[in-house]
Amino acid sequence: TEILNYVEVLKELDTKGVPETSQVTGLSNVTREDEERGVLATADELLECSALPKVDHQIRIKRIL
């Protein structure tokens, strides 16, 4: 309820003459090109990193359902 009460306080502020602001950085469509990177680890290496038991080249986990 504190948040809703604060929203009510904000509604009472006089914002006449204050321009609407949707973002503050001034940046637009800032992206970078995707770049291909080498493979960091093979599937076998990732499998061996797990401390869990392995069965048929898969990690065995406890039943969840």
* pLDDT tens digits, one per residue of 3-55: 999 999 999 999 999 998 888 888 887 788 888 888 788 888 988 899 999 99
Residue at 14 is within a domain:
no
Residue at 60 is within a domain:
yes
Range of the domain at 50: 41-65
Query: Which pLDDT does position 21 carry in this prediction?
Result: 86
CA angle in degrees (0–180, nearest 5) for 33-34-38: 140
| Total domain count, the chain | 1
Query: Which pLDDT does position 39 carry in this prediction?
Result: 78
Residue at 5 is within a domain:
no
Residue at 59 is within a domain:
yes
If one counts every other C-beta atom within 10 angstroms of the C-beta of residue 33, the result is: 4
Query: Which pLDDT does position 8 carry in this prediction?
Result: 94
Query: Which pLDDT does position 34 carry in this prediction?
Result: 84
Residues 54/60, Cβ–Cβ less than 8 Å: yes
